[in-house]
Structure 1
């Protein structure tokens, strides 16, 4: 039998503390592709859709792909943008309803539109209302998903990444697709249990390059090898002030297996309990600006020093235009360095009025919110490169995918090459420098606006990695952000409480 499956990708991690909004232009700047065009662009890369198609091709599915929509993390998604993308998905479901056997969605799990706190749960509810209860729905999620009860209620199958840096998107897509295929064949009847942990996020944000957090995901894989269909550990996202904030553990099981629900509940509770017990055991050591600048000034090893500008990570919805760290590096006389990116479309436009080789004075950064990471900084330097911002990734995360920073310039300010870009992106691929005339292995110091994803491509070329909290919007000091919708008590905003036991839920 040939199954007909509706597929889509609709992904955004929404920072509710951002002053900005994420509209359709932000999706267009990253990924907004329809139907077969999306399949052609994303089929041979590390994407959820590629994983879907890996299984679909072997199984002989008839795939109806509605849309692939992805925007860089930022402020809440506008109603207009959400309605457009969701509308394409719902129209495809409606027009193909009579022949659909299943639905397979690539979601993030931390999308917050302007009109509700749970973008994925809302979308899944709309799909379920349109298609009824009989059609199985599977969804992939980012490791940093905040999973609501509605998400678990409306999708029988949920599978999250198991790596951070995220390098298993395609694998995760294929995992979800295989379970859906078995469900459509009647081999399994999937259901999911959910255990929630009252924390902002897992102590190390789900980092799988450290043993204590990797152990959570190893245990999840072990449970899968013993018969559970999928076990997902979601570290959550501190940038969203919503009712469903916090880490969750999901266990998808075959409801026809007499012992499977009990096993699912047990592993979900075990892993949720482990997250809670390790809540104070953070691995990252956050250094101050002066310490980072001093280390950069005297670094003389064969490989570059990498400084992660953690708090100004555009991949967590920060503005990407914090100037405090750059100002500290300049004041310390650091040279042979790269600072990337400085997200400032106005400055990029101003630099594009000049020619390469000119000495230019320009004011950069500090426009998002000077209270987080510093105000505008006026600098004078030599304009080394002007570009339209286009590049093709070749690393573990972006390999084979075309992206653009928009109008981009490189200005050399006293020995620090500043990559000034128009579109917000975090640093996760060497081509984000090489495409603009900067060879990262030939620089002493690389200052990268990223929390963790930079490690996939940049750590192998680094002599040392340090992490700096320069006070921007994604600062690890959560008390600087005003959480008003998140349920309390909540670690680490509140300390004197214990997590109740037996919190796993089945729907």
Structure 2
């Protein structure tokens, strides 16, 4: 039997503390592709859509793809941008309602538009109004999803990534699609159990390169037996001040199997309790700027010292323009260093008025909020490279996908090369440097604005990796962000309270 399935991807991780709203042009700068155009670009890459299509081809689906949309994390998504993209999905559902057998959506789980705390829950509710309560809906989520009760109510199947750095998008898309197919065929009747822990996030942010957190995902996989169809551990996202903030566990079970629901409920409760019990066991050691610079100054390894500028990660909605770490490197006279990226469209425009090889004096960085990571630096340097910012990734995360930093320049100041870009993006792929004339493997020091995703491509070339909190908006010092809407008590903002894990339907 041939099934007709509506697919779409709509992903954004929204930092509600950012002063910069995420408008439609931010999606256009990253990914905003309709229908067949999206399939042509993303249909054979490491994407959720590719996973949907893998199963669809094998199972003989007729696929209607509405849209693929993704923007680099930033402030709340504007109503106009949200309505434009969600509208494409809702219109496709409305136009094809009478022939749809199922829906597969690649969502993030931490999207916050400017009119609701729960962008995914709002979309799923609108879809239900169109297609009714019974049509099977499968959703993939980022490992850093904040999963609301509304999302669980309106999607029978929710399956999240199991890797951080995220390298399993296609695999998870296929997993969700296979469960959707079995549902459409009448083999299973899934529902999802949810357990929530009152924490900003899992203590290690869901890092799957350390044994403590990997053990949670191993237990989730082990529990997928019989009528327990999928178990997901969502680490949550600290940059959103919303009422559904925090880590969750999702357990999809087959309601046809009477033993499955209590099993799903128990594993969800168990894993939420384990996250809570591990709340004081953080693995990252956050160095100060002075400590990180001292290590850079003394580094003598034959491979690069990689410094993660954790707090200024554009991938968590930070501005990417914090200057404290760059300032420290320059003051100390560190040489052979690369800093990437410095997100400053104004400075990039200034540099593009020069010629390669020319010397220029300009203000760089620190334009959005000097309280988080420092203000602009007045610098004089030499323009090494000018570019339109385009590149195609070849690493585990972005391999085969085209991206653009917008107008981009490489500025050399003293012994430091700075990748100055117009569009925010964290460092996840070696081509983000190689495309602009910088060979990362030969740098002495690499300062990368990223929390964890950089490890997928850069850790294999690193002599050592250290992590610095230079005070950007994504600082691990959560008390510096004014949480108002998040329910309290909430760890680590509050510490003197008890919690007993439970699971709800």
TM > 0.5 fold call: yes
Q: Hey, what's the Cα distance between the residues in 2 that align with 1:441 and 1:346?
A: 29
TM-score between the two structures when normalised by the length of structure 1: 0.99
Greater Cα offset, 307-316 or 376-385: 376-385
**1:264-305 C-alpha deviation (Å, 9 max, x unpaired):** 001000000000000010000000001111110111111000
Superposed, 1:180-219 pairs within 5 Å as 180-219=180-219
Aligned to 1:175: 175
- Deviation of 1:112 (Å): 0.2
1:293 and 2:293 aligned: yes
- SS in structure 2 at match of 1:229: strand
Q: Hey, what's the Cα distance between the residues in 2 that align with 1:243 and 1:29?
A: 30
Q: Hey, what's the Cα distance between the residues in 2 that align with 1:128 and 1:411?
A: 51
Aligned to 1:68: 68
Structure 2 residues not aligned, in runs of 5+: none
Q: Hey, what's the Cα distance between the residues in 2 that align with 1:437 and 1:81?
A: 35
Aligned to 1:107: 107
Q: Hey, what's the Cα distance between the residues in 2 that align with 1:219 and 1:38?
A: 35
Q: Hey, what's the Cα distance between the residues in 1 that align with 2:264 and 2:453?
A: 30
Aligned to 1:24: 24
Q: Hey, what's the Cα distance between the residues in 2 that align with 1:228 and 1:62?
A: 28
- Deviation of 1:226 (Å): 4.9
Q: Hey, what's the Cα distance between the residues in 1 that align with 2:489 and 2:400?
A: 44
Q: Hey, what's the Cα distance between the residues in 2 that align with 1:356 and 1:498?
A: 60
Q: Hey, what's the Cα distance between the residues in 1 that align with 2:153 and 2:134?
A: 13
Q: Hey, what's the Cα distance between the residues in 2 that align with 1:498 and 1:19?
A: 34
- SS in structure 1 at match of 2:194: strand
Q: Hey, what's the Cα distance between the residues in 2 that align with 1:371 and 1:484?
A: 19
Superposed, 1:109-124 pairs within 5 Å as 109-124=109-124
Q: Hey, what's the Cα distance between the residues in 2 that align with 1:449 and 1:91?
A: 38
Aligned to 2:376: 376
- SS in structure 1 at match of 2:354: coil
Q: Hey, what's the Cα distance between the residues in 1 that align with 2:478 and 2:43?
A: 38
Q: Hey, what's the Cα distance between the residues in 2 that align with 1:441 and 1:92?
A: 46
- Deviation of 1:227 (Å): 4.2
Superposed, 1:16-55 pairs within 5 Å as 16-55=16-55
Q: Hey, what's the Cα distance between the residues in 1 that align with 2:17 and 2:50?
A: 33
Superposed, 1:127-206 pairs within 5 Å as 127-206=127-206
- SS in structure 2 at match of 1:250: strand
**1:110-130 C-alpha deviation (Å, 9 max, x unpaired):** 000000000000000000111
Superposed, 1:47-446 pairs within 5 Å as 47-446=47-446
Q: Hey, what's the Cα distance between the residues in 1 that align with 2:166 and 2:368?
A: 27
Q: Hey, what's the Cα distance between the residues in 1 that align with 2:259 and 2:475?
A: 44
Q: Hey, what's the Cα distance between the residues in 2 that align with 1:120 and 1:62?
A: 25
Q: Hey, what's the Cα distance between the residues in 2 that align with 1:395 and 1:241?
A: 33
Q: Hey, what's the Cα distance between the residues in 1 that align with 2:133 and 2:121?
A: 15
- Deviation of 1:500 (Å): 2.8
**1:25-46 C-alpha deviation (Å, 9 max, x unpaired):** 0000000000011011001110
- Deviation of 1:368 (Å): 1.1
- SS in structure 2 at match of 1:217: helix
TM-score between the two structures when normalised by the length of structure 2: 1.00
- SS in structure 2 at match of 1:476: coil
**1:355-376 C-alpha deviation (Å, 9 max, x unpaired):** 0001111111001100000001
- Deviation of 1:134 (Å): 1.6
Structure 1 residues not aligned, in runs of 5+: none
Aligned to 1:491: 491
Q: Hey, what's the Cα distance between the residues in 1 that align with 2:155 and 2:290?
A: 49
Give the 4+ runs in structure 1 shifted more than 6 A.
none
Cα pair distance change 1:218/1:226, threshold 3 Å: farther
Q: Hey, what's the Cα distance between the residues in 1 that align with 2:103 and 2:441?
A: 44
